[in-house]
Amino acid sequence: MSQMLQERYARSLMNTFGPPRLVLTKGEGVYVWDAEGNRYLDLLGGIAVNALGHAHPALVSAVTDQLGTLGHVSNFFTTVPQIVLAERLLELLAVEGKVFFTNSGSEANEAAFKLTRRTGRTHVVAAAGSFHGRTMGSLALTSKPAYREPFEPLPGDVTFVPFGDANALAGAVTDRTAAVVLEPVQGEAGVVVPPRNYLARARDITTAHGALLWLDEVQTGMGRTGAWFAHTDSGVTPDLVTLAKGLGGGIPVGACIGIGEHGDLLHPGQHGTTFGGNPVSAAASLAVIETIERDGLLHNARRVGAHLARGLRHRHVTAVRQRGLLIGLDLDADVAPQVAATAHGSGIIINDCAPHRIRLAPPLVLTTDQADELLDSWADILEAAYAATEGPHR
């Protein structure tokens, strides 16, 4: 069954992602099933998206009820869920400001990038190792050469500096810099955590030069790191925040949030979207927020994340980086693809985000017992993957 579907996929879909690893047909909680009926523990959660897991009743009923009431209206009009969601996001950020809704993280960053142009400046500073998306604008802020080079020239005047190095940032930001864009924790790079005072230094540097501090919380936001936002404990108030992924719990929605007067930089006609802010995705987001609050999922993310991080230590694991349920680990050889494949074979989905790096971003509803399904077989998975490869040791 899966093989036939894989062949149909190869014939009818663009080969942008490589061959799919599985054909999935059903999900419930933290589990998904493939076309043969095999069950998998999903520790990737649609890459930090399925905050409530799969088919969560609160999300299903919010979307169903809203679609049965009012599904789409265009941005000539507004709806109650859209307004309430904007208010809730500003409340969670504890700021005054304005929200522009999108359908994805790339679009949220695209909106923010356009907004920075309204400062009258064009220079943007981004970080090496960054990932901000695949549209031409968000790609211009993404550092990986393999993603960028086939599409150059990219828009903008972007300088990349080493991530986590505040002195390098200070050296790159000038009075002609419109914005500094940073992930508070770099997700795609493998959960790279900067030094403790990095965001505070970035705030000071941008303020000194009249540049905007733009935090891309597309992957880290909405509870993923055990707080509503990964920058919360830095004490920093940014000027722009972008969100997506977990925001809709699996329904496409993103947000570009302008804090204080920066929420007023885009004027009528300067940006737009057909689907962004539609009531169904807004209702989905509201259900996600309500469920995270009601079920104490921020606390759960911290608790289960710490449990996983402790249990993932192994002689082949040289580093574990954990913020809530966003976990990256380094292996002592370039065998991450084999480790991920071995885990898949054992009914567990994990992600190899670099040749020697594994990432976990499971649903925030994951329990310690469910996490133990990985931990109980972790040593066997590693040993089997290493035995099957002659990976070059680091």
Ligand X SMILES: Cc1ncc(COP(=O)(O)O)c(C=O)c1O
Tell me: does residue 241 bind ligand X (CB under 6 A): no
Q: Is 144 tagged catalytic? A: no
Kindly list the distances between the CA atom of residue 326 and the CA atoms of 45, 162, 361, in Å, as whole numbers in the listed order: 11, 22, 5
Say whether 151 is catalytic.
no
Shortest Å distance, C-beta 254 to ligand X: 6
110 belongs to the binding site for ligand X (CB under 6 A)? no
Counting contacts by CB under 6 A, is residue 131 touching ligand X? Answer: yes
Least spacing, CB of residue 327 vs ligand X, in Å: 15
Q: Which is nearer to ligand X, 183 or 330 (CB)?
A: 183
Distance CA 231, CA 242 (A): 12
Paired with 321 in beta bridges are 328
Phi, psi of 220, rounded to the nearest 5 degrees? -90, -15
Q: Can you tell me the distance from the alpha carbon of 110 to that of 369, in angstroms, rounded to the nearest whole number?
A: 40
CA torsion through residues 166, 167, 169, 173, sign: positive
* DSSP reduced 3-state for 283: helix
Tell me: does residue 218 bind ligand X (CB under 6 A).
yes
- Residues of this chain, 188-217, that bind ligand X according to CB under 6 A: 188, 216
Residue 245 catalytic? yes
- Residue placing its CB nearer to ligand X in the complex, 106 or 143: 106
| Beta strand pairing call for 326-331 and 357-360 | antiparallel
Q: Bin 125: left if φ > 0, else alpha if -120 < ψ < 50, else beta.
A: beta
Query: For strand 240-243 and strand 326-331, is the pairing parallel, antiparallel, or unpaired?
Result: unpaired
The CB-of-219 to ligand X minimum distance in angstroms stands at: 4
Taking residues 160 to 189 in sequence order and writing x for each that binds ligand X by CB under 6 A, - otherwise, the string is -----------------------x---xx-
The least CB distance from residue 113 to ligand X, in Å, is 12
| From 216, 239, 330, 352, the catalytic residue | 216
Between 33 and 160, CB nearer to ligand X: 160
Catalytic residue list = 131, 216, 245
Residues that bind ligand X (CB under 6 A): 104-106, 109, 131-133, 183, 187-188, 216, 218-219, 244
